[in-house]
Structure formats: structure tokens, C-alpha cells
Structure 1
Amino acid sequence: MSSFNFFQHWYPLLPVEDIDPQKLTTATLLGIPLVIWKQPSSKTYQVFLDRCPHRLAPLSEGRIDDKSNNLMCSYHGWQFEANGDCTRIPQADNPEIIAQKNQNFCATVYPSCQKNDLLWVWMDESSAEIAAKTSLPLSSKIDSDKGFVWSSMVRDLEYDWQTLVENVADPSHVPFAHHGIQGNRERAHPIPLNVVQSTIELIKAEVDKPFKTTITFEPPCHLEYEIVLPGGKQLGLITYCIPVAPGKSRIVAQFSRNFAYQLHHLIPRWWDHLQNRNLILDGDMVLLHQQESFLQNINWKTAYKMPTKADRLVIEFHSWLDRYCEGKLPWEQVGVVASLPTGTTSREVLLDRYHQHTQHCSSCRNTLKIVKLWQWILLTYFIVIVSIVAVLPDSLRIDLGVWLTISALLGLGISALLRFWLMPKFYFIDYVHSQR
């Protein structure tokens, strides 16, 4: 029986629009720390192992040198160009040593590319030739020439890759876990799901009601819903389930459709994240984190009770994992302890939007900066205006002072709205199912 190689596949790390080209960006995939960077003159990003070959200091703590435009380690100043070659060792007594033994001093570079607005990485640095011949798990729904528009999102999750795939592969939880956001518990109905294909490379399922839906899982990460609505309208939910570490995963998602174009352009990306996408992920987080802790050291076949057709894709995924991966990810190959984190995790940590999403999303983090700025501007305006009105002559205080005071109070009200209603949505919103 063939075994599945998690390292010789393409994974998306982030939407390209969310990467700050002026800074070094970190990510972790399959327990391996990575640093993302690019030279100012380049249009493409590079993905390095986040370790300097000198003394294993994290390269992500370094900087892009102003003169050479290369990546500099902040520990001893070693520099590396885009292909990983070491170009400078400040401590070298003999500068020729770099040229003579350069292979010993190279940074580890993973094959990477940019496609469908995502930055992709291949996690086996020694098989670049295979990577070049391997197709990326792209969606045909990310194509403006076919009339589609789309938006993207990334969020780190406090549960394992297996749990993430299982959850996305389960459409029947939507009316309940996401009631009032993406579903309605009063309209829940049986889902006649049929698995029509299952190989080491692809699992495919189909649903006929209420809309014709095709669900495909292209291991290890690409899980997509293709929904056909009346009148030829199509929706696409394209998710990439990224294994970060035991008990940690990342979802990179793209949401496409071939209708409602004006609505797509009118709704800011950050607003969609706050009011829709983050809420959906919040609705799963506490449920799945606890479910995962209950499942430790227990076989899913005996722990789960799954008698309906709606569960068939979940069953097929776990069977695939058992058949080709021995029911686990290859953590031992990278020296990572496979056990899940122990102890109780607070809701503030589980639903920490800032560290899981906002800091990764260019739209949300930039909007948060603007919101903070306006909150202080309006608060300052209130203080200044009140101070001015207090020293106005009596003749002006009645006519001019009233309007100035009204404007100051209005500014104070907007400032309070930004501070106590909008800003928390970028950090933490508790999700209590019983109150929805």
C-alpha cells in the first residue's frame, strides 16, 4: 500500500496581499518554522527555514540590509541572497572562505511561488525538481475571466489539522454551529451525501439537495465546495487546511461567486472578516478544541457515532488517514512531540482574533490603525473644544459655544463607539452558542 508524503506537496501560507514587503513574516508548517521575505527589487517572495546556519538564530529576527538588499541575521550579521547563498560573514578572517565552502553556509530555501493571489511553499527543500513538475492545488473558481470575484482570509486555529479537515468536510453542522450567520437551525434537514471517488490523491463527494454541491478533498490541504444555484449562479468555498503543529492549524480560505459583483466591491474586506468570516470560525473554535481533547488516545471508530449520510465524508477522510498515513501526521520526522497541548485553554486564548487573524490580515490591521488614530483624534477634539468653550467670552459662549459643544459631544460619542464597539471586534468577541 502506498504511503502519503506530506512534505512533497504545495501549501499556501498566506494571501499575497497580506504580506508586508517591508518586513519579515513568520509562519510554521508541519512544525517547521519559516520566514518569508523579498528583496526590494524583486516581485516574488522567498521562503527560508527560520534558522541561520551559523548558530541557528531565527532569521525572522533579522532585517533586509539597506545596502545589499539581502537578508541579514541579527545575531552575527551573516547575509543571504534570494537563492540562500551566504554573501557575507563579517567575522571571516579569510573572505575567500565564503566562496570555497559556500554550500556549508547556505540558508535552507524552500521552493515557493505565487498563484491565485496566494504564496505557495513546497516543504521538501531537496526535491525542487519534483516541485516544479507538480501542479498546485488551485481552484478553477479563482478566475476573473470566467466571471468570478472572490475574497480571501487567513486565521490560525487552536485545534489540529485533522480536526480542521473533519470540520470543513462536515456540512451538516452549519445550521447549528453557525445559526444566524451562515445557517438557521430551524431549517436543518438531512444531507444525502454520497462519496463518488476515493483515492490517495482525491476524495470526492456529491450532494443533490437543496443545491447541487460537489465537495472535493485534494490531500493534504485543498478542500473545496462547488455549489450550483438556480439560474447558473455558482458559489465556491475554497479552503486550504494547513498543519502547523500538534493542536494547531491554519485555514487559508477564498470565497468566490459569479454574481453580485457590486456587493463584492462595496463591502470592505475587513468588514466581511469582522461580521462574517471570523464569527463563523469563532462558532467552531470552542466546540472543536474540546472535542479534540476528548478524542485523545481514543479511536474515532469507537468514539464517534455517525449513522447518517451526512457523516460519510468525515468517515471517508478518517479512513483515508488511517489507510495512507497510519492515522497521524509525520511529526516525528521533524522532531516534534505529537501529543496535543495539555491543560485548560481560556476562551480569551481560543478566540484571540488579534493574534490569530488581525496581525496577519493587511485589511484588518491597517483598519485597526486608522480606527485607533480616529478614536484619539476625536477624543482630543472633545478636550480641546471643551477647553476653548470654557474660556470664550459670554457673548460668544451662547452662540458659538453651543454648536462647538454639540460637535465635541458628537465626536466623543463616535470616539466611544470606535473604542468600545468596533475595536474589540479586532481582538476578542466571546461566542456563546446558548445566546444565539
Structure 2
Amino acid sequence: MEGVAMALSSSSSSSLLHPLILSRTRPTNQYPFSIPTFPPPAVITNSAANRLRRRSSKCHAVTTSHPPPPAMDQNSDNDEAVLFGDPSIEAGRSEERVAVADYDWTEEWYPLYFARDVPEDAPLGLTVFDKQVVVYRDGAGQFRCYEDRCPHRLAKLSEGQITDGKLECLYHGWQFEGGEGKCVKIPQLPAGSTIPKSACVRSYEIRDSQGILWVWMSSRTPPNAKKLPWFESVAKPGYQEVSTIHELPYDHSILLENLMDPAHIPISHDGTDTSTSRKEAQPLLFEVTERSDRGFAGYWGREAEGLTSFLRFQAPCVLSNVREYTDDTGEKHYATGLFLCRPAGQGKSMVLVQFGTTKGFKLAKWIPKWFIHNLSCKIFEQDMGFLSSQNEVLMKEKVPTKKLYINLRSSDTWVLEYRKWMDKVGHGMPYHLGHSTISLPQVPAVVEQAPAGFLARASASPPAKGGIMEMHAPNLTSRYFRHVVHCKECLGAFRTFNAARNVLSGAAIALVALAILASQRQWKAFLLVSAGLCLAGVHFTSTVIATKTTNFIRDHKR
């Protein structure tokens, strides 16, 4: 795909999922996105692992004490040169400081879904941290977002239905509409009675911006339009993109770590295509150009090539890699990689991925999107095992990452910047794991069903194994539940090929039966050949269906 190749540093098809290697030439401008200018960076240093909850309009310096340093060996000087925050070095500091910012996680815009993938005939249940919301299209085609809980008896509205453009709870038939979640019908009310004001459902501000649905989670503070991300390169004439969506079985902070870590690409994705090879693993260069309470940004590149790409992390969960380049005619173009990483509950995350370029893809219209999405699924599956185990260890240890990670200066700069940013703002989140601080969840993990429809009715309602107080949840290690149920193109392809397989199977059986009954040899041969072609079609459609239900399996021996 020529356009994708231009969006990346090489023609790597595996790069469709990572902000990997986005250019070979340094951009002339830092970032072609319309984002508020950040103030000068606050002091970013380390702190103890206690949770920081103090909040004010300014940053406060917090000091902590440490035990005396252990004896250092002869390699200490070398360790300090290659490592960030080597424990043997940091232990020698009697006091450390951390900048704590005023932060409220609800006063942010969170990416919910691609607008095109929201079902037109059913509500959609989603989660932001531990808050469950429901999204649907009303009678006018407008998107509405409510708390996923009927005010009557707490039934999930995402298990309901859309009736005449109104969202109806299937428990007792209460109906809601409008941007304020007004209750407009209660079938059980006596004639002439007024619907109680308390019967309305809590609503959230939702906006469709550049094809992405964003939700403002605060009910106390009006939506801040200045915080809503706007990507200028995406809005430029001629921009074409490849987008995909995935729900993943690990925390959104681990997802962000993975996506901002170019060093793992040659190893984890070795051989995914001709441009990803273990031989390309090498030291990387990093230059942090911005730090603030809203995130960080800077350049990075391979040691052999210099600083070639520009990366930005923007609160609360937007990661971007952008390059500006000039084609053979002297025309300027932008290649953009966007990664919108929503916290979808404890141990879960959802990422909306978009790669694109203003130069266009010559072959894009001829390649089915469901086929391209197979590669994106494979790339996430290559990382899924160790990222899930990383999530498990972090939850088990319950300590800041500086006690567990060994951060290299030549590979882990963005990871360290991100965890230190979490130190500054994590006290304003439901839970967080920072470099030096940690706060644990205060509520049980959310069990969320698959998108509404037959799948939800078949898999989300029955208890697991018939156990009391147990719930069935989609298996997020399955490609089908991670991606297909959320993607209109892939779900449509799955249904189409499944229907074709059924038709071809029936036709093959009928043709074999007719061949048995046929008296003339030439008819027998014709019918059997036709049956063979139908069986070949069954095999082909089954193979395509398997790409939507079967995970990539790594070969662990070389």
C-alpha cells in the first residue's frame, strides 16, 4: 500500500498498528495538530510510592526520605550512563521532589468509538474507567450518551432497544430521549399522572469530531471545547486513512506504554513483513521538547539515522506520531499515526487506530478493509501475551514502576515520561500506576457485555457456568470479541462469508445427491465437478471466517 508506506518510515505493513518508524527526515514543524500551547514544563522528579491526593490550583513539592544507599559496585558509573533512575543511584538521594498538578479525570474528552461503527438499530454499552455509558442514535440520527443504568431499577439501558428514536429499557419499558436524558414514557403510570423529574437518566455531552465520538465525563463542569482534540493533518484536503478498533485485555497505561515504545518492534514483530527484522534492533535517540500537566512531546529516531520522528502524548489518552515530507513535485504532505487509548475498566482498554496521509493511497480502494484489519489483529496478538502478563504482575506487586522497571536511556524515554506524568496527575484518576506513586481501584472491576444485538443476548446475559453472582464476559483474548464485534466492515464480512459457506455447503450436498441419481456418465461428471467447486468455495469461505475468529500463534523456536 503505497500511501501507508509514505505514512511510515518504510513500507512496513506491520506499521499499520504502531507509531513506529514514521519518517526518515525530521519534520519542519513540530506538530501539525491544533492543540493548546503548553506552559513551561514543571519540575519532574521522583517521589515515594504513597498516593498523592492533595489538589490545588498550583503544583506542590512533596518530599520523602529514603534509607542509606547500599554499597555500589564498580559498574555504577556505567549503569548511570545507560539507565534512568538506577535503584543503586537513587537510593543515595536523601530527598526527592515531585510536581503534583491539579487534575480531575472527568474534565476530559475520552474517545468512545468510530462514529461509523455505532449500530444504527441498537444501543451500545461502553466503559470509561469504572463509569458505564450507553450510546445510541436517536430518530434524527443524532448521537446520545447516557449513564448505562435505568433510574427505575438499575437495569442496563444498553440491553434495551430503540423505539421510535427513543431509548427504551427492556425491563419495564421506560423510554428516554434528548440530550438531557428526559424520561418521556412510563407504561405503568396511571392515566393523567405526571412523570417524576427524578425519572430522567444522567446524560453526558458527546461530540462527533472528525469521525470519532468523544464524551465529556464531568457533570459538574461544562464541556471545555479547547480540550477536544482536533487533528489538522487529518482535515487537510486529500487525506486518506486506514482505521481499526480493538478492545484489549490489559490496562490502558500498558497499552500506551506499548504504543510509545519503538524499541520492541524489531523483536516482537520480527518477520511480520520484509521491513521488520531482529537485525534492526539498535539504540534509539530521544529529545524531549515539551513537558506539562497536559502531556509531553519530542523527537526520536534510530541512532544510525538521527532524530526522524515527532511524538506527542496529550492528556488523557491520545498518542500521535506525525511527519511532514515533500514529494517529488515539491508538494508538502503529512503522514499521521493516531492512537486513541480509552481506559475501558480495570485490566481492559480500547484503542482507536488511524494511519493516513494527505498524498493518498493508490490501491486503497481495491483492498477490502476487513483484509487489512487481519494484519492489525495479528500485530496486537503478537504483543498480547506479554502485555497481559505485565498487567498481572503490576496488579500483584502493587508498587510504583520504578521498583520494577529497568528503564534504558536508549529505548525507554517515552515510557518513563508517561509514568512520571502519571505521578503528577494520577491522584485525580480512579486509579493509577506512576513511576513513583500508585493508587489502587476503590470499586470492583466492571463486567461489560459485547455490543447489543444477538451476540449480547446470547453471550452476555447467561451466568458463567451457571454460578450464582458470576457473570459471563466476552473473552478479550479472542479476535472475534476484541475486534470483529466492534468493526462494521469485519462483522459484515464475517456474516457474508458465513452465509456464503452455508449456501455452498448445501449446494455441494445437493449436487452430490443429483450425481448419484444421474444415469448418464457425463452428467455425473459435471455434477461431481460442480460439487467439488462448491466444496472449494466452502474451504475458501471457512478460511476467511477463521481469520476473524482465530488468533495468531507465535512460533517460540528459531
TM-score (norm 2): 0.70
1:21 lines up with 2:120 in the alignment: yes
2:211 corresponding residue in structure 1: 117
Deviation at 1:242, TM superposition (A): 0.6
1:158 corresponding residue in structure 2: 249
1:216 corresponding residue in structure 2: 312
- The CA deviation string for residues 268-322 of structure 1, in whole angstroms up to 9 with x for no partner, is 1111111x11111111111111112223323211211112232111101101101
Which of 316, 323, 326 is matched with 1:227 structurally?
323
1:186 lines up with 2:279 in the alignment: yes
Secondary structure of residue in 2 paired with 1:216: strand
Which of 492, 497, 514 is matched with 1:366 structurally?
492
- The CA deviation string for residues 77-104 of structure 1, in whole angstroms up to 9 with x for no partner, is 1111123111112222364432xx42x1
Moved more, 230-239 or 261-270: 230-239
Which of 298, 306, 311 is matched with 1:205 structurally?
298
1:376 corresponding residue in structure 2: 502
Determine if contact 1:39/1:70 at 8 Å carries over to the other structure: yes
1:410 lines up with 2:533 in the alignment: yes
Deviation at 1:111, TM superposition (A): 0.1
Which of 514, 518, 531 is matched with 1:388 structurally?
514
Distance in 2 of aligned mates of 1:289 and 1:161? 11
The residue identity in structure 1 corresponding to 2:515 is: V
Determine if contact 1:6/1:330 at 8 Å carries over to the other structure: no
Deviation at 1:432, TM superposition (A): 1.4
1:308 lines up with 2:414 in the alignment: no
Secondary structure of residue in 2 paired with 1:134: helix
Secondary structure of residue in 2 paired with 1:384: helix
- The CA deviation string for residues 6-35 of structure 1, in whole angstroms up to 9 with x for no partner, is 111111211111111111111111111111
Distance in 2 of aligned mates of 1:406 and 1:435? 42
Distance in 1 of aligned mates of 2:344 and 2:443? 11
1:345 corresponding residue in structure 2: none
1:14-93 matches, cutoff 5 A: 14-40=113-139, 42-66=140-164, 69-83=165-179, 84-93=181-190
Structure 1: which 4+ aligned runs deviate by more than 3 Å? 132-135, 208-211, 227-234, 326-335, 337-340
1:141 lines up with 2:233 in the alignment: yes
The residue identity in structure 2 corresponding to 1:249 is: S
Secondary structure of residue in 1 paired with 2:294: coil
Determine if contact 2:104/2:429 at 8 Å carries over to the other structure: no
1:423 lines up with 2:516 in the alignment: no
Distance in 2 of aligned mates of 1:393 and 1:16? 58
1:181-330 matches, cutoff 5 A: 181=272, 183-209=276-302, 210=305, 212-228=308-324, 231=327, 234-274=334-374, 276-296=375-395, 297-326=398-427, 329-330=430-431
Distance in 2 of aligned mates of 1:327 and 1:176? 36
Determine if contact 2:430/2:441 at 8 Å carries over to the other structure: no
CA RMSD of aligned residues (A): 2.5
Percent identity reads 27
Determine if contact 1:172/1:310 at 8 Å carries over to the other structure: yes
Determine if contact 2:345/2:446 at 8 Å carries over to the other structure: no
Secondary structure of residue in 2 paired with 1:204: strand
Determine if contact 1:32/1:334 at 8 Å carries over to the other structure: no
Deviation at 1:159, TM superposition (A): 0.4
Structure 1 unmatched ranges of 5 or more = 341-347
Deviation at 1:429, TM superposition (A): 1.4
The residue identity in structure 2 corresponding to 1:322 is: D
Deviation at 1:329, TM superposition (A): 3.9
Distance in 2 of aligned mates of 1:226 and 1:44? 32
TM-score (norm 1): 0.89
Secondary structure of residue in 2 paired with 1:434: coil
Determine if contact 1:286/1:350 at 8 Å carries over to the other structure: no
Deviation at 1:256, TM superposition (A): 1.0
Distance in 2 of aligned mates of 1:291 and 1:244? 17
- The CA deviation string for residues 134-188 of structure 1, in whole angstroms up to 9 with x for no partner, is 341232232251x321122111110001111111111111111112226221222
1:336 lines up with 2:428 in the alignment: no
Higher helix share: 1
The residue identity in structure 2 corresponding to 1:412 is: L
Secondary structure of residue in 2 paired with 1:378: helix
Which of 155, 177, 194 is matched with 2:268 structurally?
177
2:556 corresponding residue in structure 1: 434
2:110 corresponding residue in structure 1: 11
Determine if contact 2:102/2:428 at 8 Å carries over to the other structure: no
Distance in 2 of aligned mates of 1:122 and 1:134? 12
Q: How many residues align?
A: 415
Deviation at 1:132, TM superposition (A): 4.9
The residue identity in structure 1 corresponding to 2:509 is: I
